[in-house]
Amino acid sequence: MADNSQLAVMLTCSVCQDIFRDPRQLPCGHSFCMACLESLIDFTSDVPFRCPDCRTYFGSVIGVQKSYALACISEDHRENNKAKQKESVFCDCCPEKMEPAIKSCLKCEVSLCKEHLQPHLECQAFLGHTLVPPLGNLSSRRCLEHKGQVLKYYCSVSKTYVCNICALERNQRNLAEESSTVLEGKLTDLMNQQYNSVKQTVENCKESVIKIKEEIRQELTTHSKDLWINLVTVLLLGLWFISVYYAHSLSVDNQILQDKLQKQQSQLHDMYRMFAEKPLNSPSHSQRNGDNVGDFHFLSLNIDSASAYLKVSPDLQSVERVKTKLPHPSHPARFEKVPQVLSNQCVSSGRHVWVVEAEGYWDIAVSYTSIQRKRKGKDGAAFGVNAKSWSLMRNDIGQLFAYHNNSKKILNKTLNHNKVAVGVDFGKDIISFLEVGATNNQLHEFKAQLTEPVCLGIGLYRVDPHSRVSIITA
């Protein structure tokens, strides 16, 4: 017979992360709450429905049946848990009275009665605290690997709950694997191109030798032996020069290829070393002192947020404006009214610097992830026209503008280089833009009271001139 914790895991719906309510079984054998299945089917009405656990496709008609035994077991387990919690959980703030607790705070890790719960409901300082039904043993909600971190997320792969640091580490590991795959593909394509080029050169040399032999054979019938010898000497000398030229060209190409390969391997090595050696800090528990959190060594673009008029590179490091609308699938995070894109990585504390290389008509911004994605106009999705983003814009004639909360400021400065550094300092509440060159030129600085995680934003609003922005990763 499985113990109580194992039984709770087996009776937990992988969609809502709660004990089954009115469970229904799919043809693949996995069970979910009826309300969860209806929500998933409504959300995926335009594509074939897939099982959230095994990813099996089903047709337009999905046969489900109610699991009566599972429904009875789930309901009985829920009632037993409620009874146990009501019997054994008391308020931690009044131990002498043994007052029953009605809520537990996962942030403070205490159980509270009705009287001591009022500050959590009324004071602004406790707005971010998560209140749940009374829990008798709050220590079981902590991560064993990262001491003090609360288990908030459910991992469908390991079938266990994980903390936010575990989730962030897995996300970074997946990004590193994806980057490694992209780099490997690019190197393979480059080496194939070099091989095909050398192969074509050799084939051309062979054809040239065959033609020369044929010409020599024809010349022998009409010219003397001395003329033939002179002709052969000249042709051999020409072939020698051609061979030397192609050998030198191949040597230069190989050296360039080796330099690129060494640089890519160095970047990948630094990336793996960062994941292996640098501890990751939880965004929700980081201090706002500006010295504890290091910069992200790897920054990539979120393709799900990219407008249909923006083309993101396969390695997620650059984006360019296109004239024809691309067939991007619909996504809640996608910008629909303005050609903009956000980065995958966001930060919520410390000091960070991102460097980009930009050309054409561009807008580089720092934005909250909660920025609108669908609306135009004031308080809309465009960077700088709302209170959730701060941007630096360069138009087609080189003029610079600073935007925030629909306020425009003309900057009497020009760019001599095409590299711009974006700095975010949570400790001082400063967002700054600098030109990267022989000497760093301060372009503009915002004083911003940052209250949410921020990420890098890029806007490319015109096709002419050609507009493109790339993230500098090394």
- C-alpha 301/C-alpha 76 separation (Å) is 47
Q: Are 356 and 363 in contact (CB under 8 A)?
A: no
Q: Report the candidate in 321, 306, 318, 358 with the shortest Cα–Cα distance to residue 462.
A: 321
343 backbone dihedrals φ, ψ, rounded to 5°: -85, 155
- C-alpha 443/C-alpha 411 separation (Å) is 8
- C-alpha 461/C-alpha 320 separation (Å) is 10
Structure tokens at 99: 């007052």
Rounded to the nearest 5 degrees, what angle is found at the Cα of 53, between the Cα atoms of 50 and 58? 25
The predicted-structure confidence for 241-282, as pLDDT tens digits, reads as follows: 888 888 888 878 778 877 766 665 555 454 444 433 433 333
Q: How much is the pTM?
A: 0.41
The predicted structure's pLDDT at residue 403: 94
Q: What is the pLDDT along the chain (474 residues), one digit of tens a residue?
A: 344 567 878 888 888 888 888 888 888 888 888 888 888 777 766 667 778 888 887 766 777 788 888 888 888 888 877 766 555 678 888 877 778 888 888 778 788 898 888 888 888 888 878 787 877 666 666 676 776 676 666 666 666 667 778 878 877 888 888 888 888 888 899 999 989 989 898 888 888 888 888 887 777 666 666 666 777 888 888 888 888 888 888 878 778 877 766 665 555 454 444 433 433 333 333 333 333 334 445 789 999 999 999 999 999 999 999 999 999 899 999 998 899 999 999 999 999 999 999 999 999 999 999 998 887 655 678 999 999 999 999 998 989 999 999 899 999 888 888 899 999 999 999 999 999 876 778 899 999 989 999 999 999 988 988 999 999 865
Domain 1-83 sits in CATH 3.30.40.10: yes
Q: How far is CA 422 from CA 192, 329, 354, 401, in A?
A: 37, 30, 5, 15
Beta-carbon count within 10 A of 465 CB: 14
- Domain coordinates of the chain in residue numbers? 1-83, 171-277, 310-471
State CA 26 to chain mean position distance. 32
HEC string of 185-231? HHHHHHHHHHHHHHHHHHHHHHHHHHHHHHHHHHHHCCCCHHHHHHH
CATH class held by domain 310-471: mainly beta
- C-alpha 234/C-alpha 218 separation (Å) is 16
193 backbone dihedrals φ, ψ, rounded to 5°: -65, -45
Which class for 404: exposed (0-12), middle (13-18), buried (19 or more C-beta within 10 A)?
A: buried
The predicted-structure confidence for 190-209, as pLDDT tens digits, reads as follows: 999 989 989 898 888 888 88
The CA radius of gyration of the chain, in Å to the nearest whole number, is 32
Note whether 1-83 and 310-471 share their fold.
no
- C-alpha 292/C-alpha 315 separation (Å) is 29
